[in-house]
Structure 1
Amino acid sequence: MSGGSAKPGRRKAAGSSLRYEHRPGRPASGAKKRMTVGEKAFGCLVLPGFVLLIMPLVFFKMHWGHDVWGELAPGWPGGAYAFAATVGALVPLVFLAWVVPLTRMTWKKSKPRSLAWAAASLPGLAACYLVAGVIGAYARPKHRSDWGSRCYGVGGPCWTHERYPYLWVVGLAATLAVIVLLIGVAVKYSGRSGSSAEASEPAPASRPSTTGPSATPTPCCPTRTPDRRRPG
């Protein structure tokens, strides 16, 4: 055989015949998205804002933590466990006092009213900080190496844990009990409002009937046929 078995060469890929033009209003596919000035400012303010939010709690623990758990809690009516129950019951209440006014804000409809609701939420926010500061003053340091003389002093976290070991159980139970109570009240209130709304709705007007009154059936009287005489 004269001809060799040569493999056919691979075809070259066809060149792209369609080229998409870049529209001026749309970003290029390969271009990176640039951050806006607001995004940059938000990124720069995250860490300072977090520190600013934490500082009041640290300040409260340093200056008033020992006084709260060393003097106020033991002198509370019912003792330190009653104080822990009171603090635990206040947790959901102060949270609602802060959040509920914020849910009423509508910037698009009325900015002055929204600012008024924001101002109304500030006492709830202050109460949240106060309760969180009391709870934070009860927490012991994470590392045992920090459990020094200040921690074991009167009113310190270590002293409070040794003297009242079940304060956190009482506080948590009080928090859960108040949450369950609030949910029950909300469910009961929503059920009453729904039933009152249904009762206030007017009854649909009855349409006049187009058909005439149905004729009363008359008793059928069988027709009496004359007596036929039998042929004699």
Structure 2
Amino acid sequence: MEQDEEQAPVSDAASAPTRRRDYKTCLAMVVVIACVVCVPAVGGELWGRDVWRWAGVSWPGGVYSFAVLMGLSVPGLLLLLFAALTSLDWQRHAVRSFAWAGAAFGGFIVLIAIGGAVVDTWPFGGGRRGGPGGTDTSRQYPSLWAAGLGATVVGILVLTVLILMSEKKRRLSHN
């Protein structure tokens, strides 16, 4: 019996690059998760208190308006990160992809810095037995975490409405 086409034997060597890529992806995800969890926790101790002291003295409107600004910036930074990572096309547009990767990295660093400051506002835990919980910042400004969280939720809602309106307008213009 003759075969019309010869098939190359499948070997383990052919699948080796895929395994190597999976290993690199896994390692990258571990690093990202470590940054997201560890850096804000350490940042709360290193720069969190200083950020809120600075905002209390220097920022117009004080710490609560700064918390609102930070809360509103989080959804925008997450959207920038998502847009940047989904726009990477190293094969066709290397320079543009490099710029998007730089934007994603910058947005990620700012999100991590915000996370470090936010940790210092959390009012739960951290107190001694019988003493108040939380940090010095959360005891001095007890509703600071709520102002930032509320601004983040409002920012998510506003961005969602803007994206839906933009998609609807785009669909109507194509029809």
Matched, 1:86 2:63: no
What is the aligned counterpart of 2:80 among 77, 83, 97?
97
- 1:194 match: 171
Residues 113 and 56 of structure 1: CA distance in aligned 2, closer, same or farther (over 3 Å) = same
Q: Is the 8 A contact 1:147 1:158 kept in 2?
A: no
Q: Provide the C-alpha distance between the structure 1 equivalents of 2:140 and 2:41, rounded to a whole number of angstroms.
A: 23
**Alignment deviations for residues 8-38 of structure 1 (CA, whole Å, 9 cap, x no partner):** xxxxxxxxxxxxxxxx9699xxxxxxxx566
Q: Is the 8 A contact 1:57 1:129 kept in 2?
A: yes
Tell me how far 1:71 sits from its aligned partner.
Answer: 3.5
Matches within 5 A, 1:81-230: 81-107=64-90, 109-139=92-122, 142-145=125-128, 157-198=134-175
Aligned AA for 2:116? Answer: G
Matched, 1:64 2:47: yes
Q: Structure 1 stretch 109-118 or stretch 85-94: which is displaced more?
A: 109-118
Structure number with greater CO (CA < 8 Å, separation at least 6) is 2
Q: Provide the C-alpha distance between the structure 2 equivalents of 1:180 and 1:143, rounded to a whole number of angstroms.
A: 32
Aligned AA for 1:139? Answer: W
Residues 169 and 93 of structure 1: CA distance in aligned 2, closer, same or farther (over 3 Å) = same
**TM-score normalised by L of structure 1:** 0.55
Q: Is the 8 A contact 1:92 1:179 kept in 2?
A: yes
Q: Is the 8 A contact 1:104 1:117 kept in 2?
A: yes
**Alignment deviations for residues 59-98 of structure 1 (CA, whole Å, 9 cap, x no partner):** 4322222212233235422222222211111111111222
Aligned AA for 1:163? Answer: Q
Q: Structure 1 stretch 108-117 or stretch 77-86: which is displaced more?
A: 108-117
Q: Provide the C-alpha distance between the structure 1 equivalents of 2:110 and 2:130, rounded to a whole number of angstroms.
A: 29
Count of aligned pairs between the two proteins: 162
Two-structure CA RMSD over aligned residues (Å): 3.6
Aligned AA for 2:158? Answer: L
Q: Provide the C-alpha distance between the structure 2 equivalents of 1:95 and 1:138, rounded to a whole number of angstroms.
A: 21
- 2:59 match: 76
Provide structure 2 residue ranges, at least 5 long, that are not aligned to the other structure.
1-8, 13-18
Instruction: Flag the structure with higher helix content.
Output: 2
Residues 77 and 167 of structure 1: CA distance in aligned 2, closer, same or farther (over 3 Å) = same
Aligned AA for 1:144? Answer: G
Aligned AA for 2:146? Answer: V
Q: Provide the C-alpha distance between the structure 1 equivalents of 2:54 and 2:95, rounded to a whole number of angstroms.
A: 44
**Alignment deviations for residues 32-53 of structure 1 (CA, whole Å, 9 cap, x no partner):** xxxx566667667766664455
**TM-score normalised by L of structure 2:** 0.69
Q: Structure 1 stretch 129-138 or stretch 159-168: which is displaced more?
A: 159-168
Provide structure 1 residue ranges, at least 5 long, that are not aligned to the other structure.
1-23, 28-35, 199-232
Match of 1:138, SS state, is: coil
